[in-house]
Structures are given as structure tokens and as C-alpha cells.
Amino acid sequence: MTTSSPPAPRRLTLRILRSLPGAGEAPHWQDFPVEEAEGMTLFIALSEIRALADPSLQFDFVCRAGICGSCGMLINGRPGLACRSLTRDLPALITLAPLPVFELIGDLSVNTGKWMRGMAERLETWIHASASPALTAVEAPMAPELAEAIYELDRCIECGCCVAGCGTLRMREAFVGAVGLNKIARFRLDPRDERSDDDYYELIGDDTGVFGCMSLLGCHDVCPKGLPLQTQIAFLRRKMALQGV
């Protein structure tokens, strides 16, 4: 009786766009060979390259579990998370580039935090209440259905994939993106926030807000958390259109 030997592991090539602003070197592609292992993710492959081949390779990570959003990058031209991308689902030649729109730090590392902070300050993404919170008071109850709806929108990890996949942002740099509109939808649901639809209209009722979205839905297609961005943008557009009448 003969037993067949397991197939040889694939030899992958990670073609990475290398660039370091201010270093005086033009952006260029560099290939790195990697032997595929069972259950390998792009994060594991990149870590192997940095540990064994080139310690200067720059990419970001924190949680390695699709929660922090740090490892967003263009994977074969599509925004995604390196820690959630299995190499077995990709061809043997994998091209990796930094997310567009955001300030480049180096190689695959971009400053999403700077963009997200500017968006959050502009849209005032915090609870607005006239009274100061009573720290010793019992928290007001909330209907489970409402709490679940708020939680669904709060699952955004600000990875920047929706921003990088947005065609509108390529033409309107001031556009707040799906991540900004999702935050408005979240606070609009929150009963603790006392802002009216008129107040929200002042924030997103123009071409840099909900009326600027061209409904290409790249954001919806690439969101790694599967948020209902298409539904929320359409809902906000209808509500804000009523305010503008």
C-alpha cells in the first residue's frame, strides 16, 4: 500500500511598493519570495519578510485579529486587512501597496489617524448634551433593539479601507467618506445626543457630505467588518434632503 506525500508548499512572491518620503529614492517595486504555510495570512508573511529578509520593511499592526484596523493596505489593488487575508485565497504573485488618500509614512505604513482625527473634529463625533453628565447617576436604560442598532454602527474600526476604495474622495478631497457618514448615523440614533436633523444637516448637507456621495459603493464592497454603509448613506441622504427643503 502506497501513501501519497503531501503537496509541496506554494512559493509565493510578495511584490511590495517600497517608498520612503524624504529619502530621495523614487518609489519602486521589490519582490520577496515566501514559502506558504498552513493558515498563513499576509501579516504572517510580511512579518517573516521583516524578520528574515529585510528589517527595514514598514507596515503597521497591533491586534492581528481584525479589530484595530492598523494593517490596511492595497492587496492586489483592493483595500483590505493583512491580518484577515489568507494567502491561500490569493494568487502566488501578490502585490501590496499603501492605502491611497492617507499621508504616507513609509512602504505600506500610512497615517490613517491624522485623517480620522480631522474628520472626527469636523463632524463633532461625540455626544452633544446640554447638561453635564452625572457621574454617580444610574445609567438611563436603552431598548435592546436600539442598543443593538448603535452597536452595529459602532463596529467601525477606522481602518481606512472605505476611504481608500471611495471614488468620490479621489475627486473631492474634502468629502467626509463613508466612515464619517457612518459616524453621523451612529450619533443620530443615540438618544443621549440632543442634536436635531437641522444640526446634522449643517455638518453633512452639502457636496462634501452625504450629497457628494456618487453611490459607487466601493466603501460597502471593501469594508472588512461588513457594515451596512450602503443602507446608512441612503437613509441619511433621504433625511437630509427633507431638511434642505
For 148-204, the pLDDT digits (tens) are 999 999 999 999 999 999 999 988 999 999 999 999 999 999 999 999 999 999 999
Exposed, middle or buried, 233 (CB in 10 Å: 0-12/13-18/19+)? buried
Bridging pattern class, strands 93-97 and 11-18: parallel
Mean pLDDT, residues 14-24 taken together: 92
pLDDT band, residue 139 (cuts 50/70/90): confident
pLDDT value of position 11: 96
Per-residue pLDDT reduced to its tens digit, 94-119: 999 999 999 999 999 999 999 999 99
* CATH number given to 124-129+140-243: 1.10.1060.10
**How high does pLDDT run on average in the chain?**
93
Instruction: Quote the cell numbers at residue 110.
Output: 500610512
| Amino acid type, 147 | A
pLDDT band, residue 80 (cuts 50/70/90): very high
Residue 64, classed as helix, strand or coil, is coil
Assess if CATH 3.10.20.30 describes domain 11-110: yes
pLDDT value of position 115: 96
Residue 81 has pLDDT above 70, yes or no: yes
pTM listed for this prediction: 0.90
State the first-to-last Cα distance of the chain, in angstroms, to the nearest integer.
80
Per-residue pLDDT reduced to its tens digit, 212-230: 999 888 999 999 999 999 9
Residue 245 has pLDDT above 70, yes or no: no
Give 22 or 182, the one with higher predicted confidence.
182
Query: How far does CA 224 lie from the centroid of its chain?
Result: 7
Per-residue pLDDT reduced to its tens digit, 162-175: 999 999 998 899 99
Bridging pattern class, strands 93-97 and 72-75: antiparallel
pLDDT band, residue 2 (cuts 50/70/90): low
Residue 10 has pLDDT above 80, yes or no: yes
Beta-carbon contacts of 55 under 8 Å, excluding residues fewer than 6 positions away, are none
Residue 109, classed as helix, strand or coil, is strand
Residue 6 has pLDDT above 70, yes or no: yes
Q: Domain residues of the chain, as ranges? A: 11-110, 124-129+140-243
pLDDT value of position 67: 92
Distance CA 74, CA 102 (A): 12
Q: What percent of the chain has pLDDT over 90?
A: 83
Instruction: Quote the cell numbers at residue 119.
Output: 474628520
Counting other chains too, the contacts that 110-114 makes at CB distance below 8 Å and 24 or more residues apart are: 110/60, 110/72, 110/160, 112/69, 112/72, 112/158, 112/159, 112/160, 112/163
